[in-house]
Amino acid sequence: MTQRREHRSQVGIVGAGPAGLVLAKLLARAGVDSVVLEARSRSYVEARVRAGVLEAPTVELLREAGVADRLDREGMPHSGIALRFADAPGGPAQDHRIDFADLVGKGITVYGQQEVVKDLLADRIDDAGLPVEFEVSDVEFHDVTTDAPSITWTAADGSAHRLHCDVVAGCDGFHGGSRAVAGAGGDLTVAERSYPFAWLGVLAKAAPTTDELVYAHHDRGFALYSMRSPEVTRLYLQVPPETDPGDWSEARIWDELQTRLARPGFTLNEGEFLEKPGVTGMRSMVAGPMRRGRLFLAGDAAHIVPPTGAKGMNLAIADVRVLAEAITRFYAGAGEGGFDGYSETCLRRVWRAEHFSWFMTSMLHRFDPGTEAGDPFGVGLQRAQLRYTVSSRAAATSLAENYVGLPHGAV
Ligand SMILES: Cc1cc2nc3c(=O)[nH]c(=O)nc-3n(C[C@H](O)[C@H](O)[C@H](O)COP(=O)(O)OP(=O)(O)OC[C@H]3O[C@@H](n4cnc5c(N)ncnc54)[C@H](O)[C@@H]3O)c2cc1C
């Protein structure tokens, strides 16, 4: 058996998604060294299409961190969204714009998560020459309740490694192993909600038909119209959770999108699919506390939101801002006080985002799509909430304030 190689770093980070990479960047700026371990290859994580909406505080943070040059050049600033629905059953759908700029004086930026990841990897590896170990396996955390935790792994070439750290961060997403390690102490609580639907997502080479995102409430189910660039649209359909994307031909997907997004005067641009359609389940989950000893959970490792509120990546980045500050204060000699407050500070924002994501999901999806009789009470409530949201400045402001992102530390 080959001998395990020993390494040392102040912080060990598992996962090179938005949480892990932003944490590594914020620590590097504060003079704290870290090693990032990632199960996949660099090309895989750079091509993984997921979220695309950056809240205003996320954009500010990436600018402060010095990794927003391309984002500022290529990101698409949006100052509103449209809610599309029929005012009465069977009537034509209409758009109702939620004007973020007018209501809260801020907006969001459309910029793909994989572009954020590419920028962070280029900054860390190509510009700064700092380590990211790709294609690692058998990752395990050790001694997390001591002040000398470590991480072991097997590298792509089969060699065995151990990283000795002061702090370890579980940024390994929903399917990673860090949450189980945090739970092994017995005081982790997991709160969950599942939804009776999923999203079928497609990426198409088609110029956006509209400048802003459209959230459509339709009798056949929810549809979302969004974009990634002036040439590429990202579209979603509410589907049953057990849907096999292979059952959906391109023609069927476009037909369904045309139906659910129909509005007098609206033409949906079609184009070739740039990747295979995928189905994403809808789930809410919060695991807390987000700390066990010197192991800290961040991002999807600790919480999941349904994507209707566009909060997942933004929450991951908000978590690691708090964690980076706590670690920086620790190395500045301020002790573990920042560590003690980490979970509670993050969970306040997490629960606000959980509520907003649940609210948007509940208002916009059909819980009984395709049924003849439907659920008149449920749909009546949804339509009442939609009408209220677009006719009351107070209600519209609440949606806008949550959508663009409350300032970090505000809740
Ligand atoms: C399929 C999918 C589609 C999504 N679509 C949308 C969307 O359309 N809109 C939206 O707002 N949000 C969406 N989200 C949510 C959003 O993308 C996430 O909230 C965001 O990626 C969270 O960032 P993260 O860094 O916490 O986790 P992740 O981005 O999941 O990163 C975790 C990283 O850890 C790595 N990893 C896992 N296990 C290990 C291990 N054992 N060792 C080493 N590395 C490991 C993974 O490969 C990954 O690179 C989607 C999420 C998923 C999973």
pLDDT at 136: 98
- Tell me the average pLDDT of the chain: 95
CATH of 79-106+194-281+368-404, one of 3.90.650.10, 3.30.9.10, 3.40.190.10, 1.10.540.10: 3.30.9.10
Of 234, 279, 313, the residue with max ligand 1 atoms within 8 A of its CB, to mutate for a pocket test, comes to 313
Q: How many angstroms does the Cα of residue 160 sit away from the middle of ligand 1? A: 26
CB 237 within 8 A of CB 221: yes
Distance from the alpha carbon of residue 19 to the mean position of ligand 1, in angstroms: 9
**Architecture in CATH for domain 5-68+113-191+283-356:** 3-Layer(bba) Sandwich (3.50)
Task: List the Cα angle 390/392/397 in 5-degree steps.
Answer: 80
Residue 311 annotated in active site: yes
Chain segment 43-92, per-residue pLDDT in tens:
999 999 899 999 999 999 999 999 999 999 999 999 999 999 998 888 89
* Whether residue 373 has pLDDT greater than 90: no
Digit-coded pLDDT (tens) for 268-310: 999 999 999 999 999 999 999 999 999 999 999 999 999 999 9
- Distance (angstroms) between ligand 1 centre and the Cα of 164 equals 25
Q: Which atom of ligand 1 is nearest to the CA of 311?
A: 11
CA terminus-to-terminus distance, the chain: 52
The pLDDT value recorded for residue 90 is 82
Task: Tally Cβ neighbours within 10 Å of residue 233.
Answer: 24
**Structure confidence by residue, pLDDT tens digits, 317-327:** 999 999 999 99
Residues enclosing ligand 1, CB less than 6 A? 14-20, 37-40, 45, 50-51, 53, 113, 136, 139, 171-173, 176-177, 280, 299-300, 307, 310, 312-313, 316
In the chain, helix, strand, coil percent, each to 5?
40, 25, 35
Question: Is the pLDDT at 371 greater than 80, yes or no?
Answer: no
What does the domain layout of the chain look like in residue ranges? 5-68+113-191+283-356, 79-106+194-281+368-404
Instruction: Report the SS3 class of residue 212.
Output: coil
Exactly one of 78, 106, 161, 303 is catalytic; which is it?
Answer: 78
Q: Is 215 a catalytic residue?
A: yes
Q: Indicate whether 341 pLDDT > 80.
A: yes
pLDDT given for residue 89 in this prediction: 81
Residue to mutate, 50, 109, 153, 235, ligand 1, most ligand atoms under 8 Å from C-beta = 50
Q: Which atom of ligand 1 is nearest to the CA of 299?
A: 26
- Per-residue pLDDT of 86-117, as tens digits, reads 988 888 999 999 999 999 999 999 999 999 99
Q: What is the pTM of this model?
A: 0.96
Asked if 7 is an active-site residue, the reply is: no
Q: Are 269 and 214 in contact (CB under 8 A)?
A: no
306 counts as catalytic: no
**pLDDT, average across residues 14-36:** 98
Catalytic residue list contains 161: no
pLDDT per residue over 380-402, tens digit each? 999 999 999 999 999 999 999 99
Distance 151 CA to ligand 1 centre (A): 21
Confidence at 376, pLDDT banded by 50, 70, 90:
confident
CA of 49 from ligand 1 middle (Å) equals 10
Q: Sorting pLDDT into bands at 50, 70 and 90, what band is 1? A: low
Residue owning the nearest CA to atom 9 of ligand 1 = 51
Looking at residue 361, its pLDDT comes to 98
**Dist. CA 1 → ligand 1 center (Å):** 34
Buried b (16+ CB within 10 A) or exposed e, 129-144: ebbbbbebeebebeeb
- Do residues 36 and 24 touch, judged by C-beta distance below 8 A? yes
pLDDT at residue 374 above 60? yes
252: which residues sit within 8 A by CB, 6+ positions away? none
198 exposed, middle or buried (CB, 10 Å; 0-12, 13-18, 19+)?
buried
